[in-house]
Structure formats: structure tokens, C-alpha cells
Structure 1
Amino acid sequence: MEFKHITVAGSGVLGSQIAFQSAFKGYQVSIYDINNEVLEKAKNRIQQLETFYQRDLGASKEELLEAYNRLTFYSNLAEATEKADLVIEAIPEVVQIKLDFYQELAKVAPAHTIFATNSSTLLPSQFAEATGRPEQFLALHFANEIWKNNTAEIMKHQTTADHVFESIISFAKTIGMVALPIQKEQPGYVLNSLLVPLLEAAEILLVNDVAEVETIDKAWMIGTGAPLGPFAMLDVIGITTAYNIVKGKAEATGKPEYIKLADLLKTQYIDQGKLGRSTGEGFYQYPNPRFIQPDFLKN
């Protein structure tokens, strides 16, 4: 299937990035969100991306203007999806919100439109029935800072049609992504299935007083050649996200180390406004964290 018009539902951090990257690569893109106030914030967010595209991709001002002019903004879902060949959903990670959205989307989107969820934690099979077109539905997950962290995890569910799966793989490549096909549903996809256990292991080493933040990060960076250690990665992801994951595990398992870790993250970081890079401090202080200093990996 050839895609010409893309609709991105949800204009938050990642939704805005997906929309702009698609427009930058030549697609006509409609952005949908719940009201005009939210959409105005999205416009500002997208305009701020231009600096990064110039720095990281060498984009010209003309290219960026052309990309922005391919975007249209809607608070009416029917209007936003009227010409859509593909709808990429990037709304909050709340099951009921997504269910309600897909039931409404199914009523207004053209019959040929493919639906894709950008969810990082929820499986497409949870929403397939609500879409009214399960064979035309799958997951298409992007990493933050999509223009340079250009992975696209494409995950089918049990009844996704093969031609739909293949068409989304092709689409991902056309917007500059490295397509990562996932043949079977897996919580966390590939990236987070690998990353989350690493981050958890680092956090458990810390909470059990085995080693300090910098020691753990140095061990990983020197031992693997990675540019960031697990705690530097957690600062990028955000400590609130880390806390929510750990808190869920603490409640589900009752394990003392998860309970202790959740308490540490809340009292020593979240309650003190240390949420990671976004607030200027998390496990490290920004904009000049210790791990970028020349002597960090030396004795």
C-alpha cells in the first residue's frame, strides 16, 4: 500500500516528533489533539525541533519550512482523518483512554486506513477489537529524539494481515527509520526487553549498597564501550518513569528490594524535584554531568 497522507493522534513530545519527521520526509501530515490550546503548544514544540534538525541532520531553513507547511492541525477527529492512509496513535498510556479513542476513530476513519499504536508498554491485542479492523492494526513504536535515535519497532498481533505488517515496515524506512520487525507480541518489544532489565539491575545494585551511581556507570561504560551508563540513561528517560515501573513491581511482588527502591526514588529524587535531565538534576547535574568530564573513566 502506498501512503500519502498520515494522521498523528496525540501531539505530545513523541507525537510531535513523529509528525514532523514524517513531514520532513515529504508526507502530508494531519495532527489531531483534543483542543486548540493543546495544539498551540504542539506548534511551539515542533518549531523548537528545527534547531535539532539543523544541528543533527544539517537541515536547511528552506527544508524545515517546507516540512512545517506540510502539517495541518485539527481538534476534530473526523476532519483530521478524512484523507488518512495511516493513523499513528500517540495518546496517553492509559488503557481506557486508548479504547475510547479507537472506538471513536473506527467510526470516522476511511475503510482503507491502517491504525498503528506507538504504545511502549501496552500490546496491540488489547485494542484490536476496539479498532473495528484488527487485521489493519499493529504497533509502531519510536524512540525519543526520533530524528537521530531512528529505530522503529513494528510489532504485529495475532490477526494483523501480513501485507499491513510489510507496508508499515516499508513506511518506517521512508521516514528515515531503521525498521525492526517483531513477529510476535512481546511486552517491551525488543529495545525495552533488553534495556529495562539492565536499568533494574543497576538500581538494585544501588539500593542494596553494593556500589554508588558513578561506580556502576563507569563499570558499564568501560566494560562495554557504551557512551552512557544506566543511571545516565535513567536521567534521559526520566526518574518518574523509573519510579512508576518499580512501584508497580513493588505492589505486584511485595519484594523488599523493590519497595526500598521505590521509596528511594520518591524521597531522594522525585520529592526533591530531581527528575532527570528535564529538570537539570537527577542522578547527575546538568548541563555538565560528571560522566562527560575527561577524567570520568580514569583512575
Structure 2
Amino acid sequence: NQWEACARKVRQVQDLGEAVKEADLVLEAVPENLEIKKKVWKEIGAKAAPGAILATNSSSMPVSRMETAGGRPEQVLNIHFYFPMQGVNMVDIMGGSRTRPDVMEKGIAWIKSIGFVPLTVKKELLGFCFNRVWRAIKRETLYMWGNGFVDFMDVDRAWMIFTRMKEGPFALMDKVGLDVIWDIEMVYYNDSKDPKDHPPQALKDMIDRGELGVKSGKGFYTYPNPAFLSPDFFK
């Protein structure tokens, strides 16, 4: 089938130099930590072909914050995927402070070539296009839950009824990973220093207990049979 055909094209290697030596585009997806990203970018920049484009899959950080680390600031992009395995075929794309127009064009063309819809950000913006919209949803829902105003399940019920989606914001955060959500929200807070942008302590408490979402078996919901999949969820 198509999945197996695609899987056969993927080759795993242990050495970064071997992985990037013939690549036209290198997309980094390490944790949402700027120093880690800069370290990886420096290594990629030293080993990738001179003409290769360097991109980050960061969920929030503008590529300009790491663009010089790879030694080619004119050839860098933000290329941020969402949930491609679940069929969410859209991608944020944004250039850095010195990205050449032709590099942006190549990035957009590549996104289209793999059947995805590019969401082009014309000027640098923390959070990019849809991810900034999603961030506003996270901020408000976490604030309401973390300060005891509402039950998270009611937020998800309302979202699912109103949008007719199969899961709500808290279920989506479970899917992303609550530790990842925390790191992303802290990027926004560290940028603004606005107390309203700081994620609630209740979220940190969950993370400290090892409740990270789907990957740990428990987050806001318990997996593999979360309550929002039950026919009784809306009763």
C-alpha cells in the first residue's frame, strides 16, 4: 500500500553527517529549547551541503533566534507541521531576518509537493499562523481550568459540540504532550513577561507527577480509553 511504499523510502542512520550530506532541506525537530536547537543547528550547518536549506519544526520560536547558528542565515526557514499522521495537512512557513526570497519559494514548493497546504507568514511572528490561534485557545482554556473556573471536560464538550470535532483542546494538549505544552507556553511568557501568559501551576504539578498525556497513559484523560470517546461523555 501507499504507506508501506513511503516507509521503504525512509533510511535510518546513526550519524548526523551521513543523514544530511546529500539533503537539499534539513528539518530539525529537537525539543523546544533554544540552546539545544542552536547546538544541533551548528552541527547540521557544519555537515550539510552548502546549498542546503536549514529549517526548524519549532512550535513557537522564530527561526531568526537560531539562524546564525547554522552558518547560513540566508537559507533558513520555520516549517512547522501539526498532526500529519492524523491527516492535518497544513504547515506554517516563515523566513528569518535574512532569508532569501528564493529560499522561501523553495520551501513553499516543497510543502505543496508533499500534498500539504502552506500557511505563509509574511513577517516574523511568534507562533506563526494557525499555531498562534491555537496558542490563544490554549492560554484561555488553561487559565480557566487552572484557576478553578471550569472543569476541563466541559471545555472539551463545548468545543466538540460547537466545532463538531472529535476532540477538544485538552484532549489535543494530551496528544501533543503536556511537558511540550509547558515548554511552548513558557516561550510565549518569556517573550512577553505578562503574568497572563504564564501557564498555570496546576499544569506543572501534573507534569511533575509524570502525567504527560497520551505518551504516559495519563494526562487530562486516561488512555487508551479516554472519557471523551465514551458515548456517555455528553450526558
TM above 0.5, yes or no, is yes
Are residues 164 and 201 of structure 1, via their aligned partners in 2, closer, same or farther at CA, if it must alter by over 3 Å?
Answer: same
**Partner of 1:266 in structure 2?**
204
1:284 aligned to 211, 217, 221, which one?
Answer: 221
3-state SS, counterpart of residue 130 of structure 1: coil
3-state SS, counterpart of residue 79 of structure 2: strand
Shift of 1:142: 0.9
Are residues 155 and 203 of structure 1, via their aligned partners in 2, closer, same or farther at CA, if it must alter by over 3 Å?
Answer: same
Q: Deviations over 1:95-116 (max 9, x none)?
A: 2333233333333322222222
Are residues 85 and 276 of structure 1, via their aligned partners in 2, closer, same or farther at CA, if it must alter by over 3 Å?
Answer: same
What TM-score does the superposition give when structure 2 sets the normalisation length?
0.84
Q: How does 1:44-63 map to 2 (within 5 A)?
A: 60=1, 63=2
The letter of the residue matching 2:131 is N
Q: Could you tell me whether the CA contact under 8 Å between 1:158 and 1:184 is conserved in 2?
A: no
**Partner of 1:182 in structure 2?**
121
2:25 aligned to 70, 73, 86, which one?
Answer: 86
**Partner of 1:240 in structure 2?**
179
Are residues 104 and 242 of structure 1, via their aligned partners in 2, closer, same or farther at CA, if it must alter by over 3 Å?
Answer: closer
What is the CA–CA distance in structure 1 between the aligned matches of 2:208 and 2:122, rounded to whole Å?
Answer: 41
Unaligned runs of 5+ in 1: 1-59
Are residues 79 and 287 of structure 1, via their aligned partners in 2, closer, same or farther at CA, if it must alter by over 3 Å?
Answer: closer
Q: What is the total number of aligned residue pairs between the two structures?
A: 233
**Partner of 2:104 in structure 1?**
165
Larger radius of gyration between Structure 1 and Structure 2: 1
3-state SS, counterpart of residue 12 of structure 2: strand
Are residues 179 and 258 of structure 1, via their aligned partners in 2, closer, same or farther at CA, if it must alter by over 3 Å?
Answer: closer
Cα RMSD (Å): 2.8
Are residues 213 and 158 of structure 1, via their aligned partners in 2, closer, same or farther at CA, if it must alter by over 3 Å?
Answer: same
Q: Could you tell me whether the CA contact under 8 Å between 1:154 and 1:181 is conserved in 2?
A: yes
**Partner of 1:7 in structure 2?**
none
Q: Deviations over 1:81-125 (max 9, x none)?
A: 332222222233332333233333333322222222212222111
What is the CA–CA distance in structure 2 between the aligned matches of 1:219 and 1:235, rounded to whole Å?
Answer: 17
3-state SS, counterpart of residue 119 of structure 1: coil
Are residues 265 and 91 of structure 1, via their aligned partners in 2, closer, same or farther at CA, if it must alter by over 3 Å?
Answer: closer
Q: Could you tell me whether the CA contact under 8 Å between 2:13 and 2:19 is conserved in 1?
A: yes
What is the CA–CA distance in structure 2 between the aligned matches of 1:164 and 1:72, rounded to whole Å?
Answer: 25
Say yes or no: does 1:222 pair with 2:153: no
**Partner of 1:67 in structure 2?**
6
What is the CA–CA distance in structure 2 between the aligned matches of 1:121 and 1:257, rounded to whole Å?
Answer: 14
Q: Deviations over 1:226-269 (max 9, x none)?
A: 3322222222122223344566749x85849958x21x2233x3
The letter of the residue matching 2:213 is G
3-state SS, counterpart of residue 72 of structure 1: coil
The letter of the residue matching 2:215 is S
Q: Could you tell me whether the CA contact under 8 Å between 1:222 and 1:297 is conserved in 2?
A: no
3-state SS, counterpart of residue 101 of structure 1: helix
2:69 aligned to 130, 139, 142, which one?
Answer: 130
What is the CA–CA distance in structure 1 between the aligned matches of 2:139 and 2:37, rounded to whole Å?
Answer: 28
Unaligned runs of 5+ in 2: none
Are residues 147 and 207 of structure 1, via their aligned partners in 2, closer, same or farther at CA, if it must alter by over 3 Å?
Answer: closer
What TM-score does the superposition give when structure 1 sets the normalisation length?
0.68
- Percent sequence identity is 35
1:191 aligned to 130, 147, 166, which one?
Answer: 130
**Partner of 2:36 in structure 1?**
97
Are residues 292 and 193 of structure 1, via their aligned partners in 2, closer, same or farther at CA, if it must alter by over 3 Å?
Answer: same
Q: How does 1:245-260 map to 2 (within 5 A)?
A: 245=184, 249=189, 253=193, 255=195, 258=198
Say yes or no: does 1:141 pair with 2:80: yes
What is the CA–CA distance in structure 2 between the aligned matches of 1:188 and 1:174, rounded to whole Å?
Answer: 24
**Partner of 1:155 in structure 2?**
94
